[in-house]
Amino acid sequence: MRFERRENQPLLLIFATPLIAVIAALALSGVLIALAGAPVFEAYWNIVKGAFGSRLSTTETLTRAIPLMLTGLAAAIAFRAKLWNIGAEGQLYIGAITVSAVSSQLLAGTPSLIQIPVLLICGAIAGMILLLIPLWLRLRFSVDEVVTTLLLNFVAILFVSMLIDTVLKDPLAFGWPQSLPVEDDAMLPRILTRSRLHIGLFIAIALAIIIYLIQTRTVFGLQSRAAGLNPEAAVFAGVPLGRTLVLVAMISGGFAGLAGAVEVMGVQGYVTTELSPGFGYSGIVVAMLANLNPIGVILAALFIATMFVGADGMSRVMEIPTYIADVTVASSLLSMLVAIFFTQYRIRR
Amino acid sequence: MVGREVKRPVREASQPGEIILSAENVSVQQGGVDRLKAVDFHVREGEVLGIIGVSGNGQATLAQLLSGTAKRADGAITLFGEEVGDLSVPEIVDRGIGRIPEDRNHEGVIGEMAIWENAVLERIPEFSKNGLVDRSAGVKFADDVISAFDVRGATPTKRIRLLSGGNMQKLILGRNLLNQPRLLLAAQPARGLDEGAVAAVHERILNARKNGTGVILISEDLDEVLALADRIQAIVGGRLSPSVDAEDANARKMGLMMSGEWADQEVRDEV
């Protein structure tokens, strides 16, 4: 038996791949649910109910999908140019803490109309800077960015942890390590009353569409794809490799920073070290499930959010721990990687 | 081999025109090593300058210098009558210089991209406006290249890795030659191709010569150089030999040139 490269990837296969991967992941997790002694289909039904069973759960699922869309875009953009940004988690936290600091220290009393866009941009810039450092190390000294971006996550989170226990600590938080809250005027408007769903949803979807257009229509999109697929040939064709990667890193890091800003300004209002339940890492799964397609990121983020929110709901009515969502999400990444392989290769005897 | 008689095209006598490119005393360092040492050469309109040599003597660096991906340490280059600094790839392409890279798969094409994208990537300023790619113009350009250069089994939107080596090379030639470049740099243009494709590539290069294009042909294939070149220089240890008319060259003479017999003892010891 050997693997042979497919001449052409059938279009159907490209769309079916993520579905097959998700089904395989659900089947794998189903085995675990069965091992835990619970009825599998009922468990999945409860996940769906937990995610979309009521107005509250539906809006919670959508709210949860917002940062996942942004971190998913961050990963998809970078990976397409073969810039391995594993640091979205740290970039998210740095974006979040920047928003808290700027809002509470510099913009107190500024009207929403100014404060919200300024803060979103500040969060994005903070994320950008955190990714430009590893990129500089790569371009200047050929340091592998997988390692640097991954390790900077810990640096970033510990730095945030230090800030919220010292200079940015909220004195009214009963001693909890929690940052000063952003101004009320900095909170993103809600889409629906009696829910936490905020306009970050529209921002994320709009950005996904803009990125799709940039990738398919612009010179930068063409060049960044070329840089990712074959850097040598890209250089021969005159693609400015360094400049292209810097732009890619600015967008990628910017989106991850924005995810943090949006999460603070849309949901929590302040920063703790529990702000993100791994949004940065889940963003990698989102991007892979979406096959790095920005529009696909929207759907993949919804799937991941459904699993997380739904599993919470399910664990309340059945005796299955919510960790099953982590298992499903992780195994969907693995099965997607296998599935992507089979869209490019076929088995020959 | 190819199921039909393949005749390699023959170079016709011609009268070369003005000098379009001349290099004096040009040196290039890469990674702290002198790859080109004070080389002199020039090429005229409608003339093929063949550069022979054993691989690893500086051909790749010379090709990179002329392609815009290596920088000079020293020396002067005069292009179309004007002294120039180190030009970037877009500047070189913009001045009507065609480039055929030594390694098709690594430098020439991006396998996973469409044929039309491969056709226009190096001339993207021509095929874009305000940062937006003009896809329909690109597809049309690719279509023109495909039909004018007989690229078999190609449609503009197909991924280029699905083409055979010969057809890929025809596409690379075509994207460079369709608009009549004034100067063509061809590094190992027929390496690894079957006889039929070799003949096709040679014919295109000779056609370009007939139309007044100056060609710098870097090749290890002595038969190829004898068939195409008007003048020949050998590259040995980063140095270029004086030029020899192709009429006076034969395999033995070229062998001596490649061994550095023209150089001082001092240089030969280095090699």
Mean pLDDT along residues B157-177: 92
What CATH number did the domain enclosing B254 receive?
A: 3.40.50.300
Residue B48, φ and ψ in degrees, nearest 5: -110, 120
pLDDT value at B14 more than 80: no
The B residues from 162 to 221 touching A (CB cutoff 8 Å) are: 162
Band of the pLDDT at B177, cuts 50, 70, 90?
very high
The lowest-confidence range among A56-70, A290-304, A320-334, B95-109 is A320-334
Domain assignment present for residue A201? The answer is: yes
Nearest Cβ partner for A219 among B111, B112, B128: B128
CA distances to B43, B88, B177, B184 from B93, in Å: 18, 9, 12, 10
pLDDT confidence of residue A229: 94
- Tens digit of pLDDT for each residue in B195-248? 888 999 999 999 999 999 999 999 999 999 999 999 999 998 888 888 888 888
- Total domain count, chain A: 1
Domain assignment present for residue B224? The answer is: yes
Domain span holding position A232? 39-318
Residue with tokens 């494709």: B197
Determine what percent of chain B is predicted with pLDDT higher than 90: 54
Angle between helices A294-317 and A40-52 (to 10 degrees): 110
Determine what percent of chain B is predicted with pLDDT higher than 70: 96
pLDDT confidence of residue B267: 65
CA distances to A120, A189, A333 from A192, in Å: 21, 9, 32
Task: Kindly state the tokens that stand for A199.
Answer: 């306009």
Domain assignment present for residue B182? The answer is: yes
Using the beta-carbon criterion (under 8 Å), do B121 and A222 form an inter-chain contact? yes
Domain assignment present for residue B150? The answer is: yes
Tell me which chain B residues have a C-beta less than 8 angstroms from the C-beta of A230: 106, 109-112
CA distances to B62, B121, B245 from A93, in Å: 49, 38, 69
Q: Report pTM.
A: 0.88
The A residues from 8 to 27 touching B (CB cutoff 8 Å) are: 8
Q: Which residues contact A68 (CB under 8 A, 6 or more apart)?
A: A279, A282, A283, A286, A301, A304, A305
Using the beta-carbon criterion (under 8 Å), do A229 and B111 form an inter-chain contact? yes
The lowest-confidence range among A12-21, A156-165, A307-316 is A12-21
| Rounded CA separation B48/B215 (Å) | 5
Residue with tokens 């917002």: A66
The lowest-confidence range among A195-204, A300-309, B262-271 is B262-271
Mean pLDDT along residues A77-87: 95
Domain assignment present for residue B3? The answer is: no
Angle between helices A200-217 and A55-80 (to 10 degrees): 30
Chain A: residue whose CA lies nearest to B122: A237
Q: Which residues contact A188 (CB under 8 A, 6 or more apart)?
A: A116, A198, A199, A200, A262, A265, A266
pLDDT confidence of residue A15: 78
Domain span holding position B261? 19-270
- Tens digit of pLDDT for each residue in B129-153? 999 999 999 999 999 999 999 999 8
Mean pLDDT along residues B55-75: 89
Average pLDDT, chain B: 89
What CATH number did the domain enclosing A231 receive?
A: 1.10.3470
- Total domain count, chain B: 1
Decide if B87 touches A, using CB distance below 8 A: no
Chain A: residue whose CA lies nearest to B132: A218
Residue A174 near residue A185 (C-beta atoms within 8 A) = no
| Rounded CA separation A39/B194 (Å) | 64
Domain assignment present for residue A30? The answer is: no
